[in-house]
Amino acid sequence: MSLEHAILGFLSSQPLSGYDLKKIFDTSVSHFWPADQSQIYRTLGRLVDNGWAEMEVVNQSDRPDRKVYGPTPAGRTELLRWLEAELPLAPTRSPEMIQVFFASRLADDQVLAMFERVAAQMRSGLAAYDAIPQDITAYENYTHSPREFYFWMLTLEIGKMQLRANLDWIENMIQRIRDGEVPQS
Amino acid sequence: MSLEHAILGFLSSQPLSGYDLKKIFDTSVSHFWPADQSQIYRTLGRLVDNGWAEMEVVNQSDRPDRKVYGPTPAGRTELLRWLEAELPLAPTRSPEMIQVFFASRLADDQVLAMFERVAAQMRSGLAAYDAIPQDITAYENYTHSPREFYFWMLTLEIGKMQLRANLDWIENMIQRIRDGEVPQS
DNA sequence: GCTTCTTATAGGACACATCCTATATATTAC
DNA sequence: GTAATATATAGGATGTGTCCTATAAGAAGC
C-alpha cells in the first residue's frame, strides 16, 4: 500500500509523530498523494502491527504527549524493496474526461464553457505550483540533503509539466470549437 | 458520483443491460474510468432507486433474461446538469511519484532502473493507444453520430498526449541521471 | 462425455479513503 | 471573559471500488 510506504519514507529520515506527518504530507506530497489525518494515525498503527515501525511516547508538560515513530530494520528493508518494485499501474480516474466523453450532449457554447471552466481551474493550479518556493532553504525542517531535495523538486516539476500539457491541449480544443471544427450531429 | 453519470450517459444513447455496459466501459472509457462488473450492477440498482433510470425485463429463450435499463426524464435532466457542473477537482494519486519522491534512498543505477521500468510501461501504454482503431466504422455498435465519436476520440487523444508528455519527461530524466546531474548526497 | 466459454445477474467480504466527531490542554485573539 | 486556534491522538460511519464467489443454461472445444 502506497501510504504505508510514503510514511515509511518520511520516517526513514527522522522520527515523527502522526501530527508531524500530517503537516509534512500537506507541504510536500499532497499534490500526488493527499493523506487524511485520521488515516495517517490508523496507518501508523498498522505499520507497528506489521513490525515495520516502532513507537515511543514522548512526554510533554505543556502539551499532549506525542507518539513518535521510527522505522524498524524490517521497515527500512521493506521501503527499499518497494522503491524498486514494479507497481501495478494505478488506473487514472478522471471525472472531467467523462464530461468530455459525453460532451456531444451539450451545445457548442456549453462545451466551450465547460472547457473554459476546466482551463481556469488548471491556470489556478499552475499559479499554485509557481507559488511554491523552489529554494532549499525554505524546506530546511523537512529535507536533509541536496539529493533528497532534488527528487522532491522533480515531483513538482512533473506535476507542473502535466498541468501545462493539459492546459495547452484544452486551449487548443477551445480554438477548435471556435473554429467550428467539431461535428454538429 | 461519476460512475452513475457515466452510465446515465451511455443509457441516454440506447437502452442497455449491465452486461452490455460492462463491455462498453471496457472498450471506451476504461482508460480514464475503469468499472467493475459488480459495481455496474449495483449502480444500476441505485439509478433506479434515485428515479434516474427504469428497468425492463427482456425474456430470452436460449439465454438468461436481460434487465434492460433506460433513463427517465429526471435522469436525462440530471445528466445534463452534471455535464455542465463544476467538479471538485479529483486528487490525482500516483504511487510512482512516491517512488520518485523517495528515490534519493536508492543509488543512481537503481534510480535509472526504476525510471526505465516506468518508461517501458509507458511505451507499451502508448502502443496500446496506437492499436485502438481511430475509424468510426469500428465503433458502429457503440457510437451514434460523428459528434459523439468526435468527443470519444478526444479522450483518446488527451490520454495519449499525457502519456507522451510523461514519457518525454522520463526520458529527459534518464539522460540527466546519465549525465551525472543528480546530487549524490 | 467432460470441461470451458459465453451470456446474464448479483451478493459477501474487504480495502482504502473521507468526513465528522470526541478528547484534552495551552495559547492567542477580540 | 469568550471564542478561536494550535498541539496531539483516535474512533465511528459512510462512500467507493475491488475481488471472489454463486447461480443458471446453452454453446463450443477436445
Rounded to an integer, what distance in angstroms lies between the CA atom of residue A31 and that of residue B118? 20
Three-state SS string across chain A, please?
CHHHHHHHHHHCCCCEEHHHHHHHHHHCCCCCCCCCHHHHHHHHHHHHHHCCEEEEEECCCCCCCEEEEEECHHHHHHHHHHHHCCCCCCCCCCHHHHHHHCHHHCCHHHHHHHHHHHHHHHHHHHHHHHHCCCCHHHHCCCCCCHHHHHHHHHHHHHHHHHHHHHHHHHHHHHHHHHCCCCCCC
Percentage of residues of chain A with pLDDT beyond 70 = 100
Give the ipTM.
0.93
Strand D at less than 7 A from CB of A92: no
Write phi, then psi, for A115 (nearest 5 degrees): -65, -40
Residues of chain A contacting residue B148, judged by C-beta atoms under 8 Å apart:
104
Residues of chain B contacting residue A98, judged by C-beta atoms under 8 Å apart:
2, 5-6, 9, 29, 32-33
Per-residue pLDDT of A61-74, as tens digits, reads 788 889 999 999 99
The DSSP 8-state label assigned to residue B102 in this structure reads T
| Residue range A127-138: mean pLDDT, rounded | 87
Would you call A145 an interface residue with chain B, using a CB distance cutoff of 8 Å? yes
Percentage of residues of chain B with pLDDT beyond 70 = 100
Residues with CB under 7 A from strand C: A 1-3, 34-39, 62-64; B 17-20, 37-38, 41-42, 44-45, 60, 63-68, 91, 93
Per-residue pLDDT of B141-180, as tens digits, reads 787 899 999 999 999 999 999 999 999 999 999 999 999 9
Rounded to the nearest integer, the mean pLDDT of chain A is 93
* Architecture category of domain B2-84 in CATH: Orthogonal Bundle (1.10)
The DSSP 8-state label assigned to residue B62 in this structure reads S
Whole-number pLDDT of residue A23 = 95
In the structure, how far is the CA atom of residue B61 from the C1' atom of nucleotide D25, in angstroms? 10
Per-residue pLDDT of B70-96, as tens digits, reads 999 999 999 999 999 999 888 889 999
CA distances from A43 to A4, A7, A82, A100, B92 (A): 6, 8, 17, 36, 20
Residues near B79 by beta carbon (within 8 Å), at least 6 away in sequence: A102, A105, B5, B8, B9, B12, B71
Rounded to a whole number, what is the distance in Å from the CA of A120 to chain B's nearest CA? 11
- Choose between B63 and A41: higher pLDDT: A41
CA distances from A158 to A139, A153, A174, B32, B125 (A): 19, 9, 24, 19, 18
Q: CB–CB of B36/B3 below 8 Å?
A: no
Q: Inform me whether the pLDDT recorded for A135 exceeds 90.
A: no
Percentage of residues of chain A with pLDDT beyond 90 = 84
> How many CB pairs below 8 Å do chains A and B form together?
192
Rounded to an integer, what distance in angstroms lies between the CA atom of residue B96 and that of residue B170? 12
Q: Which residues, listed in sequence order, are joined to residue A68 by a DSSP beta bridge?
A: A17, A56
Write phi, then psi, for B135 (nearest 5 degrees): -100, 130
State the nearest residue by CA to the C1' of D6: A63
Residues of chain A contacting residue B117, judged by C-beta atoms under 8 Å apart:
86
Q: Do B87 and A97 touch (CB under 8 A)?
A: no
Residues near B49 by beta carbon (within 8 Å), at least 6 away in sequence: none
Per-residue pLDDT of A60-112, as tens digits, reads 878 888 999 999 999 999 999 999 999 887 888 999 999 999 999 999 999 99
Q: Which three cell numbers stand for residue B108?
A: 543512481
Strand D at less than 7 A from CB of B30: no
Q: Inform me whether the pLDDT recorded for B60 exceeds 90.
A: no
The pLDDT confidence band at residue A6, using thresholds 50, 70 and 90, is very high
Strand D at less than 7 A from CB of B63: yes
Q: Inform me whether the pLDDT recorded for A141 exceeds 80.
A: no
Instruction: Render the burial of A149-167: b for 16+ CB within 10 Å, e for the rest.
Output: bbbbbbbbbbbbbbbebbb
Rounded to a whole number, what is the distance in Å from the CA of B49 to chain A's nearest CA? 22
Q: Inform me whether the pLDDT recorded for B48 exceeds 80.
A: yes
Helices (H), chain B: 2-11, 18-27, 37-50, 73-84, 95-101, 108-131, 146-178
In chain A, where the domains are located = 2-84, 95-178
Scan for cell 453520430, then name that residue: B145
| Residue range B8-29: mean pLDDT, rounded | 96
State the nearest residue by CA to the C1' of C23: A64
